[in-house]
Structure 1
Amino acid sequence: MPHLLILFILFVNSHAGYASEESSQLISGDSSSRRLLRAAYTEFPPYTYTDSAGKPAGIYIDLFLKTVENAGYHGEFFSAPNARIYFMLKAGEIDLWLGVADTPALQAHVVEVPVDPFSITLKLWYMNGTKPANSLLDVGNKKLVVINGFTYSNIVDQANSDLSESGESLSVLKSSGHASALKILASGRADYMLNYEEPVKEMLKINPVPDLNGSLIRKRRLAFVISKYREGSAQIHKDLSQSFEAIKDIYWPAKREAAMEFSQ
């Protein structure tokens, strides 16, 4: 009888061990089956930004998380300047960028999922009393403040190249962010500011700047910009495209309307 009892205890313990191990594998298997997508963003409120708790936030972040969750992935984020993000996409160091479509420097290296109707609006800003400017060529030899790390699709370099033919050159000041650029413009240390309308509007909610004007330079569509050099990039592109189309009108009508208001 004692031998039978010992055998019974060993039998129960061994099967309990198998059950525990199987449950553990099921939990870890369920987690690992959702591939991690490493995504970069830049500080661009209200679309993408780092909140006071140090966490990624914004309309675009929320939309991306819902899209990847629906597609069977999960996301990991980090913030970096655009120039650094471009390098990492070309090197295949990240899966994608929550960015803009049709960036010339990236076209040979990425595939894109357009995020319609989201768009952003680049403007040339100036104060009352400053000569209105509708393009960078109108700025001439005046001082222009830009955001450090933003490439603006190289339109500043192109304008300088065009201006050099007439002996003119933009005097470019680089600011650390949207708030500091606006402060430089408002204080008169720069004559013009090249910046996107969406973050400027966010800054103006906190610190209104009277007599501020802006001329439209261009509109740009947003997109999930996927590096071609990451394993499975074609499948990621397909999955996110299908997922975004499936969820955009179900989960995000209010977000889309908010985004369109910023673009008007």
Structure 2
Amino acid sequence: MPKRFCLILITLLWLPVAHTTEARQRIHVGYYEFPPYSYTDAQGQPSGSGLELTARLLEQAGYQVEFRSYPGARLYSGLQDGSVQIWPGAPGKTELAEHTLEGRHLLGEITLNLYFRPDTPPPRLPDDLHGRGVILITGYSYWQDVNQWLEDPARQITRHRTSSHTSALEMLERRRGDYLLDYQAPVEQAKRALAMGDLPFVEVQRLPLRLIFSRHAPNAERLRDDLDRVYQQLKDAGEDLWLY
């Protein structure tokens, strides 16, 4: 009887520990450099409003969080094989459709613009791109219709790539390209860093931000449901969770 009692006691003690371990599962969140939503700061730490919100939701849902920055192609590959479990990003990527689930809540919006110099007339898209040079950020990808503009050989578009938003703005200012295709939020941050004034643009596309979950990660649907539930609870409590 004492031996049987000890086994029962050990089992009862083990169950809550096992539940706690499962509840504190470490979740791997991938991101690429997209300030102010997701970026690596000067101290080498993940930062940005999108990562802060993701961490808060995960921790409140009982998970641990681990962030890692990736180039765009590697981030998508990680979502396709499950090594990246969550990406706070934009839905609708055709290459990710069969490999991912989307969170039910809209977290914010991002805007893709075509910037030009004040001495350049506003372009008519896509016709005025013909034979012109467009500055692009290395590692960024665009939606299918935009890619078709850029890759159409009949348009004879020259693509100039650079690794940062500040250098892209400087290239445009120095006439090393006719237009800059970039997202509004990081451009605004780069303009402030350069003490640059207003820059005209044409809005190309407005995209939603959501949590994107890899279908190939363990318990992906439960993870999605847990974060959706926590988000709704915070929203019902009156919190402003919109990403700016």
Task: Give the shorter-chain TM-score range.
Answer: 0.7 to 0.9
Query: How big is the shift at 1:156?
Result: 4.3
- Following TM superposition, by how much is the alpha carbon of 1:104 offset from its aligned partner in structure 2, in angstroms? 2.1
Aligned to 1:213: 200
Contact 1:101–1:221 (8 Å) recurs in 2: yes
CA deviation map 1:2-36 (0-9, x unaligned): xxxxxxxxxxxxxxxxxxxx8xx988974563111
Choose 194-203 or 241-250, whichever is displaced more. 241-250
- Normalised to the residue count of structure 1, the TM-score between the two structures is 0.80
Tell me the equivalent position of 2:223.
236
Work out the CA distance in 1 between the residues paired with 2:19 and 2:216.
Answer: 26
How far is the alpha carbon of 1:82 from its aligned partner?
1.6
CA contact (8 A) 1:65 1:75 kept: yes
Q: Which among 170, 182, 192 is matched to residue 179 of structure 2?
A: 192
Within the alignment, does 1:93 sit opposite 2:83 as a pair?
A: yes
Counterpart residue type for residue 189 of structure 1: R
Q: Which moved more, 1:32-41 or 1:216-225?
A: 32-41
Change beyond 3 A, Cα 1:145–1:232: same
**1:54, CA displacement in angstroms?**
0.8
Mapped to 1, the partners of 2:145 and 2:164 lie a distance apart of 19
Provide the residue aligned with 2:130 in structure 1.
140
Query: What is the CA-CA distance between 1:67 and the residue it aligns to?
Result: 0.8
Q: Of residues 27, 37, 41 in structure 2, which corresponds to 1:37?
A: 27
> Using a 3 Å threshold, how does the CA distance of structure 1 residues 96 and 133 change in structure 2: closer, same or farther?
same
Q: Could you tell me which amino acid in structure 1 is paired with residue 121 of structure 2?
A: K
Q: Equivalent residue of 1:152, what SS? A: coil
* Total equivalences in the alignment: 234
More deviation, 130-139/84-93: 130-139
User: 1:88-146 CA distances to partner (integer Å, 9 max, x unpaired)?
Assistant: 11122111111112222211110011442501000000101123124344211111011
The structure with the greater share of residues assigned to helix is 1
Residue in structure 2 matched with residue 4 of structure 1 by the alignment? none
For the 8 Å contact 1:101–1:114, the answer to whether it is kept is no
- 1:63 is aligned, of 40, 44, 53, to 53
In the other structure, the counterpart of 2:4 is none
Residue 108 in structure 1 maps to residue 98 in structure 2? yes
Larger gyration radius, structure 1 or structure 2: 1
Read off the aligned partner of 1:88 and give its amino acid letter: G
- Cα distance in 1 between the residues matched to 2:133 and 2:182: 14
Unaligned residue ranges in structure 2 (runs of 5+) = 1-12
Task: Check 1:161–1:30 CA distance in 2 against 1; reply closer, same or farther (3 A cut).
Answer: closer
The percentage of counterpart residues that share the same residue type is 29
